[in-house]
Amino acid sequence: MSRLLLVSNRLPVTVKAEKDQVSVVRSAGGLATGLSGPHERSGGLWIGWPGDVSRLSQAQRAKVDAQLAELRCVPLYLSASEVSRFYEGYSNRVLWPLCHYLLDRMPRQDRDWDAYSKVNERFAELAASHYQPGDTIWVHDYQLMLVPGLLRKRLPEARIGFFHHIPFPSSEIFRTLPHREALVRGLLGADLVGFHTSSYVHHFSNTMLQVLGLETEVDHVTHEGRTVRLGAFPMGIDAAAFERLAQEQGTLDEVKVLRERATGQRLLVGVDRLDYTKGIPRRLLAVQRLLEREPSWRGRLRFIQVAVPSRTQVEDYAAYREEVDELVGRINGLYGTIHNVPVHYLYRSLNERQLAALYRGADVMLVTPIRDGMNLVAKEFCASRPDEDGVLLLSEFAGASNELCEATVVNPYDVEGMTDAILKALEMPAAERQRRMRALRERVKAHDVHWWVGRFLDTLQAIPVATQQPETAGAKDVMARLKAAGRRVLLLDYDGTLVGYAARPELASPDPELKSLLARVAALPHTSVHIVSGRAKETLEAWLGELPVGLHGEHGLWSRPKPGGEWKMLEGVSTDWKAQARPLLDSFTARIPGSFVEEKTASLAWHYRQVDAGYGASQARELRLKLIEAFAQGPMEVLTGDKVVEVRPRGAHKGRVVTQVMEALGPGVLVAAFGDDRTDEDLFGAVPEDGISVHAGGRPTRAGYRVSGPDEVRQILASLLKG
């Protein structure tokens, strides 16, 4: 097993300071439990913030450091300003509400991005300083979204995983963020990006498409020459530990006390961090409605709601606390008696045994967040019920509802609906409770936290990172080989290779620098230059006709190999099919605003660069299928390029230009082809084995080299002028 470097905002430890005594203990949370085995076995390190230690003396701090070192934890201490701006500010005032679809809770203007970036830099720097070749790095959660990208810059060959513990929202929400691009690029520094559910994966894929124009395959995306795997890895809990605890005598004694205090009553339980995503007010309102609607239940219900203080310095959390306090007061005021109140509200953390007792003693567990990445409480409840009793009421907006389908699933926004569901749960026959709980427990136990860690790490470690090339690995090598060649021919695609893409094809005309560069390179001794493009010959002639270069248009259908020479068309090519195919392309243009058809001598191209990225890509897939269906037997083929679907005569492809040029030049010439989209793969395929093929961009390619884009292609050409 390779050494594991874990990086998370919080370390899995609690620093306890009592009077002069200070100690560090590993926390009991799911992440800490699940990862402690692999962490220890691999002899790795865990990097993170140990929490607020500002009140500790120097000596106490040294003691904390020593104890952390024993646990193989490396502390990253946050200053007061970093806590306020990175943790409370950008992480919890901006990203947290955004990922939970609560745009209204975000500040109108965010002022903490710089602090977020800087602290992410600090984490990356610290992790990189402890990295040893062969280590596996696993970064956790929304506080550290830039870290994978920052690590990739420092450690191009490291194996890096990232897990996002909270929801990844729809792209419609995520792209409201001013820094959306940096965050998405940050995650793409990883080799594997994991989420709790497949819908979060889907949202992330759509976001990449909208924000970076990246089209994703089912489980991966190619970006800057690297493949980044994506996947759903639903997190589990330490089910065996919860089950064990729930069976211990101490816990059963607590359950007994709990039940005795509620004699004649049914027990409803809620356990959450006090967070506005957890849906506590509507849950309370549902309980209130039940008492209002069903007087027979008054005095016969006890709702215990435990809320752990969380992020207390963030205003929205303080306001939320007041809202909950008020609601509890109102319900108890309305339905309490001098002997009893319906809501028992505790604003504090419970120890493990108290928690297990509550789970074990509950008749109905209310887990009703308005949005939650997974929600581990729901799973802990099931694991704590070896008696196969108790009903789980679970929000459909918690990731856990994807797996826990035998729960009573509710819409947490529908108070009346939740009231009905609580009533149904209270009246559910024992046999049905048992059937549901048995199924829930099987799943929670089978897919526990160890299963989760194993699946994520196995997937990450199976990725062949060593073969991945950093963005600019190719350029230097290509320059050296071209310079060393006796005779050389350069075959250059135009759009996306020599110039960037423009909104409309006619806007991508060559700039004076490009023309001058091509002219000077073509004038070098023993050097020929050919432009091999999908463009119409008229465009190439108008833009590049005066240069001393060969021109090849419509993917090699038309050629003018010698400057000033005549254009010749490939023989035996049929264009009769165009009249049949055109109406289909026109029908797509008519209903998809921003798209248009470009007609060339022997081909038709449907462009969709200005169409919404997701819609354009799906419509292009549909058009391609329809064309293939209608003309499968015809003399043409369908190609997908960069934001274009093209129909062209079969056999007229860029690869033919390579053969043509090589025949004219004879043996002993180094052939170097440069291109960026799928039509250039034909060009690369025809380059002889001792030649050079260079892909400009981040797509999968058969090319032997990869550079980042037109700027770098131009740099390679310019380097030839320097002798």
Query: Residue numbers of the site for ligand ADQ (CB under 6 A)?
Result: 29-30, 165-166, 235, 271-273, 306, 308, 349-350, 355, 372-377, 380
Nearer to ligand G3P, 222 or 310 (CB): 310
Which tokens go with 625?
């299928």
Contact of residue 639 among ligand ADQ, ligand G3P, none (CB under 5-8 Å per partner type): none
In 100-231, where does DSSP find H-type helix?
A: 113-130, 147-154, 171-174, 180-187, 198-212
Nearer to ligand ADQ, 348 or 424 (CB): 348
Closest distance to ligand G3P from the beta carbon of 310 (Å): 5
Contact of residue 10 among ligand G3P, ligand ADQ, none (CB under 5-8 Å per partner type): ligand G3P
Strand locations in 568-704 (E): 568-569, 596-599, 604-607, 636-641, 644-649, 670-675, 692-696
Nearer to ligand G3P, 165 or 283 (CB): 165
Contact of residue 471 among ligand G3P, ligand ADQ, none (CB under 5-8 Å per partner type): none
Closest distance to ligand ADQ from the beta carbon of 418 (Å): 18
716 bridge partner residues: none
Q: What residues make contact with ligand G3P under the rule CB under 6 A?
A: 10, 141, 165-166, 310-311
Report, in angstroms and rounded to the nearest whole number, the Rg of the chain calculated over CA atoms.
32
Residue 690: phi and psi, rounded to 5, are: -90, 10
Spatial distance between the Cα atoms of 101 and 373, rounded to a whole number of angstroms:
12
Which tokens go with 242?
């919860």
Contact of residue 308 among ligand ADQ, ligand G3P, none (CB under 5-8 Å per partner type): ligand ADQ
Under 8 Å between Cβ of 398 and 369: yes
Reference 515, options 542, 480, 552, 475; nearest CA is: 542
Contact of residue 450 among ligand G3P, ligand ADQ, none (CB under 5-8 Å per partner type): none
Nearer to ligand G3P, 10 or 105 (CB): 10
Contact of residue 474 among ligand G3P, ligand ADQ, none (CB under 5-8 Å per partner type): none
Residue 606: phi and psi, rounded to 5, are: -105, 115
Nearer to ligand ADQ, 74 or 166 (CB): 166
Distances in whole angstroms, Cα of residue 3 to Cα of each of 139, 300, 450: 14, 55, 17
Closest distance to ligand ADQ from the beta carbon of 20 (Å): 27
Catalytic residue at 493?
A: yes
Spatial neighbors of 686 by CB under 8 A, at least 6 apart, are 654, 655, 656, 657, 658, 659, 673
Nearest 5 degrees, angle CA 441-CA 163-CA 37? 65
Which tokens go with 380?
């802990």
The owner of tokens 């569901």 is 421
Under 8 Å between Cβ of 366 and 422: yes
DSSP 8-state secondary structure symbol assigned to residue 495: B
Query: Is 252 buried (19+), middle (13-18) or exposed (0-12) by CB count in 10 A?
Result: middle
Closest distance to ligand G3P from the beta carbon of 60 (Å): 22
Closest distance to ligand ADQ from the beta carbon of 215 (Å): 29
B/e letters for 373-412, b = 16+ CB within 10 Å, e = fewer, are: bbbbbbbbbbbbbeebebbbbbbebbbbbebbebbbbbeb
Nearer to ligand ADQ, 381 or 501 (CB): 381
State which H helix or E strand residue 530 sits in.
strand 527-532
Spatial distance between the Cα atoms of 443 and 383, rounded to a whole number of angstroms:
10
Under 8 Å between Cβ of 209 and 618: no
Reference 245, options 400, 436, 390, 386; nearest CA is: 386
Closest distance to ligand ADQ from the beta carbon of 375 (Å): 5
Closest distance to ligand ADQ from the beta carbon of 222 (Å): 28
Nearer to ligand ADQ, 400 or 696 (CB): 400
Reference 101, options 215, 8, 199, 182; nearest CA is: 199
Spatial distance between the Cα atoms of 453 and 25, rounded to a whole number of angstroms:
22
DSSP 613-636: HHHHHHHHHHHHHHHHHHHTTSSE
Contact of residue 272 among ligand G3P, ligand ADQ, none (CB under 5-8 Å per partner type): ligand ADQ
Contact of residue 492 among ligand G3P, ligand ADQ, none (CB under 5-8 Å per partner type): none
Reference 425, options 263, 266, 262, 246; nearest CA is: 266
Contact of residue 85 among ligand ADQ, ligand G3P, none (CB under 5-8 Å per partner type): none
Count other Cβ atoms within 10 Å, centred on residue 507: 9
Region of residue 486 (phi > 0: left; psi between -120 and 50: alpha; otherwise: beta): alpha
Closest distance to ligand G3P from the beta carbon of 166 (Å): 6
Under 8 Å between Cβ of 378 and 361: no
Dihedral sign of CA atoms 411, 414, 415, 419 in order: negative
Closest distance to ligand ADQ from the beta carbon of 643 (Å): 37
Reference 287, options 174, 416, 97; nearest CA is: 416
Closest distance to ligand G3P from the beta carbon of 348 (Å): 15
Looking at residue 719, its amino acid is S
Contact of residue 30 among ligand ADQ, ligand G3P, none (CB under 5-8 Å per partner type): ligand ADQ
DSSP 8-state secondary structure symbol assigned to residue 38: H
Contact of residue 376 among ligand G3P, ligand ADQ, none (CB under 5-8 Å per partner type): ligand ADQ
Nearer to ligand ADQ, 399 or 550 (CB): 399
493, 676, 680, 682: the active-site residue:
493
Closest distance to ligand ADQ from the beta carbon of 12 (Å): 12
Under 8 Å between Cβ of 703 and 678: no
Closest distance to ligand ADQ from the beta carbon of 150 (Å): 23
Contact of residue 311 among ligand ADQ, ligand G3P, none (CB under 5-8 Å per partner type): ligand G3P
Nearest 5 degrees, angle CA 394-CA 397-CA 402? 70
Spatial distance between the Cα atoms of 386 and 244, rounded to a whole number of angstroms:
9
Q: Which are the catalytic amino acids?
A: 493
